[in-house]
Amino acid sequence: MREFHIKHIDHSIERDVINKIDNLTKPKGALGRLEELALQISLIQHTLSPELHRPHNVLFAADHGILEEGVSVSPKEVTWQQLSHFSKGGAGINFLCEQHDFKLVLVDAGVDYDIPAGHGIIDMKVRKGTRNFLHEAAMTADELDLCIERGAKIVRDIYAEGCNVISFGEMGSGNTSPSAVWMHLFTGIDLKKCIGAGAGLDSEGVRHKYEVLAKAVANYKGDEKAASKIAWFGGYEMAMALGGMLQAAELGMLIIVDGFIMTSVILAASQLHPEILEYAVFGHQGDESGHKLMLEAMGVKAILHLDLRLGEGSGAVCAYPIIESAVRMINRMDSFRSVNVTKYF
C-alpha cells in the first residue's frame, strides 16, 4: 500500500491564534463554533491569517456486489444514471456547488456501465462493481492499492490547481451496507445500531439488511489488519475517497467530511493514519441511522444537522459558508487594540 506521510498539526502558534480570536471585538467565546473552526484551520495552515482557495467536491461513483442480496431499494442502474445526471448539471450536488463556488469533479471508480467519453467524467474504473462480500472479498488487495493511488492522484492534480479545501462525495447504490460494516468493525458498535434505511428501506427491509450483513461479517476470512477489512467490505468509490483524503491530509489541505458514507471512509482512513482527523471538519450529521453514534465514537461533532441523506457531498458543501465565516471572522474583525472599543468581558 502507498505510504503517506501525514504530520501531526503543529500547535506552536496555538496560543497566538487563541489570543487573536479572544481579542476580536466581541465577548470571549461569543462566536462559538466559528472560533473553534478558525483555530483549527489556522493550525492546519500554521498561520494567524488562514485562507480558503478554490474549493472542490470530488464525487466518486461505483457499484457494489452486495446489492445482489436485496439490501437496497435503489436498483444498480441508478448509479450510472445519476453519474450521467451529475455531468449534465441538474442534480442536488450541482446547484450546491454552483451556489457555493465549488468545482465538481466526477470520477468513475467502478460503475457497472460503459460510460461514453466526452461527458466530463474522469475514467478511473477498476472493475464493473465490487464482488459480493457476503461470499468473498469485495476487492483484492491490489485493487485497494490501485483505488488509493487513483484517489490520491485526483487530489494531487486538484492541489496543483491551487485548491486547499476539499470535500468528497459518492454515488453507489447499496453503499450504506459497506459503510455500516466499516462502522461496526472500526468502532465496536453493535451492528444493528449501525444499520439504517439507506435510500428508503422499510422495517422488514432493514431487518433483512441486518441479517445479510451479520452473515457477511461472520463469513469474513481476512486478518485483523484494517487494510484487509477495508478491502473485504469496501466499495471502489469509498476506497478512492479514502486515498483522496489521505493525500489531502498529507498536503495539509482542509477536508470537509460529508454524511454517513464519507464519515465511515475517514473512520477507515484513521485506522491507517490517525493523524488524518486533525485535518477534518465534519459538515453535517445525516439522517442515516448510526451516523450520530459514529460521530460520537470518533469524538467529533458536525457543523450542521439538516436531516440530509442524499450523499454526493451535499452536506459538506452546505457547511462551507459556516467554515468561510470562521475564516472571515479571524481575518476581518477588528481587535480591541485597533479600534476605540473597551473590552467588555
206 C-beta neighbours (distance < 10 Å), count: 17
Cell triple for residue 327? 475564516
Cα separation, 195 vs 210, in Å, equals 7
The residues near 19 (Cβ < 8 Å, ≥ 6 apart) are: none
CB 164 within 8 A of CB 147: no
Cα separation, 111 vs 123, in Å, equals 10
Cell triple for residue 171? 454515488
Q: Report phi then psi at 57, rounded to 5.
A: -120, 120
Cα separation, 20 vs 141, in Å, equals 48
Residues annotated as catalytic (active site), given as ranges: 312
The residues near 283 (Cβ < 8 Å, ≥ 6 apart) are: 167, 256, 257, 258, 259, 302, 303, 304, 315, 316, 317, 318, 319, 320
Cα separation, 83 vs 61, in Å, equals 7
